[in-house]
Amino acid sequence: MDKASLRRILSDLIAELLTNQKTKEQTIKELAQRVDIVDVLDSKDDLIINGYYALKYLTDDYETTVFELIYLNDCFIGSKQFSEAERNRFIEDGIKSENRSNKG
């Protein structure tokens, strides 16, 4: 599968999850049906690889945060350029903000 197709599928899955059109379980199932890990790794595209694993591990012990999904969605739609360091900052800032909101 080519990069454009992989990006489109991952982008659609993330958007559908963020807008509550699909559950985490439905998303994981559809990911497994539509995307082959070999294609993901062969793409050598950090956004595709990170998007794939974020969806794959939605319900694992390491649970993907909504902040990571928002960041990846922004990258897939082109409003952000993917950077692992920036992704990590975005997630940290989101969690800190959420924690402050919950405390006060």
Write the pLDDT tens digit of every residue in 54-69: 999 998 877 889 999 9
- Which residue do the tokens 């909504």 mark? 66
Tokens standing for residue 31 = 């990911």
pLDDT of residue 104: 59
- 57 burial type by CB count under 10 A (0-12 exposed, 13-18 middle, 19+ buried): middle
The neighbour count for residue 1, using CB atoms within 10 Å, is 15
* CA-based torsion, 52, 54, 58, 61: positive or negative: positive
**2 vs 43: CA distance, rounded Å:** 8
Q: What residue spans define the domains of the chain?
A: 3-103
Contact call for residues 54 and 68 (beta carbons, < 8 A): yes
Write the pLDDT tens digit of every residue in 27-86: 999 999 999 999 999 999 999 999 999 999 998 877 889 999 999 999 999 999 999 999
